[in-house]
């Protein structure tokens, strides 16, 4: 004879089965309903048509979060081979052709089902600003050619245009602070220092600046619920290539047949053409009236003398405001930390000077040593570095040092506030990301609402509540529970 288990009645078994099914169903629905969708991405493409070259950046962000909360990240960068589009003024079609290889690259990196909806922008900076000043019809023809080429791509081409210096500075600042998560979290922001080939930008927040003293340097933002009064200025012609032209123009004012340049290493020698040197609007007004066709440019490598040459391209005396950087441009008091990118990074990286805890005096000494190194020795020390760049590091380093200290007024105390950077969390520092975030309305003015609980927390709470309900349900059925009799039932 078997003893009968009082729980093994049909009713309790049915209740238990229904209860378990109910819990499984409840948890399954909660998980499926609220689970983040399998990551599917959206894309945006920005072409940075700079003075020295064009680069294409592809950005991606989670598709279900394009309403402001998803992180936008750079997934790919393609360097267009050849020079900047402004160098194709005499043959604009080639400017369009030059972009094709990178556009084919983009077709591979962006999934084909997303091609049609992916916005594609081209922004041109100081190279095209200068071409536009020199010959606006030629600049239009270049834009026409690149636009025709980009329209043929499968992406949604949104137009090609010149960014103002103010936009370039402000979007560089947005990029740096977005990537550092400073905007969304409302943290103290970082200033942005950008050194291009033809222009340079400085952008930062200073408590002493509300835009009233120099409105043309003021950009107001409201991002994630915070207001920012940004100071920004772009110095056209003060990118590193145009600054070098101005330094050479200063040394060739009398139209000599040869110059000995302290900004180039001893042993460097090249024959240069006067008309090529003076073709840029940054120096064209200063072309010596009587000069031979060419001049011999040789180096003597002296940092201190080079600094004097470099200083000659700045005007430190004129200032109608309470304080200025240079050339009569207002600049509020420096404040906070700074991210310095583009040529700042390339040059300081070569000089092994990206660590700004090194005292300013040591930076000066390192530059003095670099300039004093004979050019042949330098070439032997750095066989991997392109000659075009190696030639110019003494000038470029001296220019950066002078621009930061004498131009923007960084001191031995504040120099360590600068961080020389190329990328932040995998994305390049530069104006392109800020530009795309702005055009796609990806940064909201107000802080987005956040859910009460994270997803995992939400599922746990639902599960616990379901279990409690189930236990209560079983308890509420107590009257139906089979009674345990004292005597064992005999079946």
Ligand X SMILES: Nc1ncnc2c1ncn2[C@@H]1O[C@H](COP(=O)(O)OP(=O)(O)OP(=O)(O)O)[C@@H](O)[C@H]1O
The yes or no reply on residue 50 touching ligand X (CB under 6 A) is yes
The yes or no reply on residue 198 touching ligand X (CB under 6 A) is yes
The yes or no reply on residue 191 touching ligand X (CB under 6 A) is no
Rounded CA separation 290/197 (Å): 29
Rounded CA separation 281/131 (Å): 8
Among 125, 177, 203, 265, binds ligand X (CB under 6 A): 125
Which one, 190 or 391, has the nearer CB to ligand X? 391
The yes or no reply on residue 280 touching ligand X (CB under 6 A) is no
Least distance from ligand X to the Cβ atom of residue 457, Å:
45
Residue 278's contacts (CB-CB under 8 Å, 6 or more residues apart) are 249, 284, 286, 287
Least distance from ligand X to the Cβ atom of residue 391, Å:
10
Which one, 203 or 342, has the nearer CB to ligand X? 342
Give the residue from 384, 362, 402, 407 showing the smallest Cα distance to 263: 402
Site map 59..98 versus ligand X, x via CB under 6 A: -------------------------x--------------
Burial class (CB in 10 A: 0-12, 13-18, 19+), 372: middle
The yes or no reply on residue 196 touching ligand X (CB under 6 A) is yes
Which one, 116 or 384, has the nearer CB to ligand X? 384
Rounded CA separation 268/28 (Å): 74
Which one, 126 or 437, has the nearer CB to ligand X? 126
Among 53, 245, 297, 419, binds ligand X (CB under 6 A): 53
**191 assigned ligand-binding residue:** no
**9 assigned ligand-binding residue:** no
* # chain residues binding ligand X, by CB under 6 A: 21
Rounded CA separation 337/4 (Å): 79
The yes or no reply on residue 403 touching ligand X (CB under 6 A) is no
Give the residue from 457, 451, 452, 449 showing the smallest Cα distance to 31: 457
**147 assigned ligand-binding residue:** no
Which one, 84 or 96, has the nearer CB to ligand X? 84
The yes or no reply on residue 241 touching ligand X (CB under 6 A) is yes
Least distance from ligand X to the Cβ atom of residue 54, Å:
8
Rounded CA separation 324/316 (Å): 8
Among 190, 199, 252, 325, binds ligand X (CB under 6 A): 199
Span interacting with ligand X, options 7-15, 16-24, 74-82, 344-352, rule CB under 6 A: 344-352
The yes or no reply on residue 139 touching ligand X (CB under 6 A) is no
What order of strands is seen across the sheet that includes strand 199-205? 218-223, 226-236, 199-205, 191-195, 338-342, 418-420
Q: Looking at residues 221 to 240 of the shown chain, list those that interact with ligand X (rule: CB under 6 A).
A: 239-240
Rounded CA separation 453/82 (Å): 52
Q: Are 330 and 217 a contacting pair, CB within 8 Å? A: yes
φ, ψ of residue 390 to 5 degrees: the values are -60, -40
Span interacting with ligand X, options 69-77, 194-202, 217-225, 362-370, rule CB under 6 A: 194-202
Which one, 2 or 386, has the nearer CB to ligand X? 386
Marked catalytic residue, from 3, 148, 167, 168: 168
- Residue 117 catalytic? no
Determine the residue with CB nearest ligand X. 50
Site map 362..391 versus ligand X, x via CB under 6 A: ---------------------------x--
Least distance from ligand X to the Cβ atom of residue 224, Å:
28
The yes or no reply on residue 166 touching ligand X (CB under 6 A) is no
Least distance from ligand X to the Cβ atom of residue 463, Å:
53
Which neighbouring-strand residues pair with 490? 3
Q: Are 98 and 85 a contacting pair, CB within 8 Å? A: yes
Q: 488's torsion region: left (phi>0), alpha (psi -120 to 50) or beta? A: beta
**Helices 393-402, 240-251: crossing angle, 10 deg rounding:** 100
**201 assigned ligand-binding residue:** yes
**DSSP one-letter string for 396-408:** HHHHHHHIIIIIS
**118 assigned ligand-binding residue:** no
CB burial of 270-307 (b: ≥16 within 10 Å; e: otherwise) equals eeeebeebbebbbbeeebeeebeebbebbbbbbbebbb
Give the residue from 322, 129, 293, 142 showing the smallest Cα distance to 217: 322
What order of strands is seen across the sheet that includes strand 73-79? 73-79, 54-62, 41-49, 119-124, 156-162
Cite the active site residues: 168
Residues binding ligand X (CB under 6 A): 50-53, 84, 125-127, 196-199, 239-241, 342-343, 346-347, 350, 389
Binding-site residues for ATP: 197-201
For the annotated binding site, the residues are 197-201
């Amino acid at each position: 004879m078997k003893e009968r288990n009082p729980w093994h009645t049909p009713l309790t078994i049915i209740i238990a089965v229904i209860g378990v099914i109910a819990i499984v169903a409840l948890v399954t629905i909660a998980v499926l309903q609220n689970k983040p969708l399998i990551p599917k991405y959206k894309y945006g493409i920005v072409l940075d048509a700079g003075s020295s070259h064009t680069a294409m950046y592809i950005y991606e962000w989670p598709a279900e979060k394009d309403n402001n909360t998803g992180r936008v990240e750079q997934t790919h960068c393609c360097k267009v081979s050849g020079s900047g589009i402004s160098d194709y003024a005499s043959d604009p079609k080639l400017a369009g052709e030059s972009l094709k290889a990178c556009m084919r690259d983009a077709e591979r990196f962006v999934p084909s089902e997303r091609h049609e909806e992916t916005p594609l922008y081209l922004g041109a900076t100081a190279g095209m600003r200068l071409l536009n000043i020199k010959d606006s019809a030629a600049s239009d023809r270049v834009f026409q050619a690149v636009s025709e080429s980009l329209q043929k791509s499968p992406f949604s081409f949104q137009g090609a245009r010149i960014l103002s210096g103010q936009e370039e500075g402000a979007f560089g600042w947005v990029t740096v602070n977005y990537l550092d998560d400073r905007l969304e979290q409302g943290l103290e922001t970082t200033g942005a220092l950008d050194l291009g080939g033809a222009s340079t930008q400085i952008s930062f927040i200073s408590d002493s600046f509300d835009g009233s003293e120099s409105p043309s340097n003021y950009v107001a933002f409201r991002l994630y619920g915070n207001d920012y009064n940004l100071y920004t200025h772009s110095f056209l012609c003060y990118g590193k290539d145009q600054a070098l032209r101005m330094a050479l123009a200063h040394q060739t004012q009398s139209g000599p047949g040869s110059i000995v340049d302290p900004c180039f290493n001893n042993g460097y020698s090249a024959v240069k053409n006067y008309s090529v040197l003076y073709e840029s609007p940054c120096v064209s007004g200063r072309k010596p009236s009587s000069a031979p066709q060419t001049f011999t440019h040789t180096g003597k490598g002296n940092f201190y003398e080079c600094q004097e040459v470099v200083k000659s391209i700045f005007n430190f005396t004129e200032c109608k405001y309470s304080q200025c950087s240079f050339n009569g441009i207002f600049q509020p008091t420096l404040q906070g930390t700074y991210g310095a990118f583009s040529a700042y990074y390339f040059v300081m990286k070569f000089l092994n000077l990206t660590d700004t805890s090194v005292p300013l005096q040591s930076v000066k000494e390192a530059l003095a040593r670099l300039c004093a190194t004979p050019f042949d020795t330098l070439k032997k020390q750095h066989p991997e570095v392109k000659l075009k760049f190696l030639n110019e590091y003494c000038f470029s380093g001296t220019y950066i040092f002078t621009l930061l200290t004498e131009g923007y007024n960084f001191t031995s105390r504040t120099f360590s506030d600068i961080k020389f950077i190329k990328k932040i969390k995998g994305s390049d520092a530069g104006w392109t990301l800020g530009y795309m975030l702005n055009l796609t309305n990806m940064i909201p003015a107000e802080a987005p609402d956040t859910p009460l609980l994270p997803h995992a927390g939400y599922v746990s709470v639902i599960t616990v509540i379901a279990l409690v309900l189930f236990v209560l349900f079983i308890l509420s059925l107590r009257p139906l529970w089979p009674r345990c009799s004292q005597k064992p039932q005999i079946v």
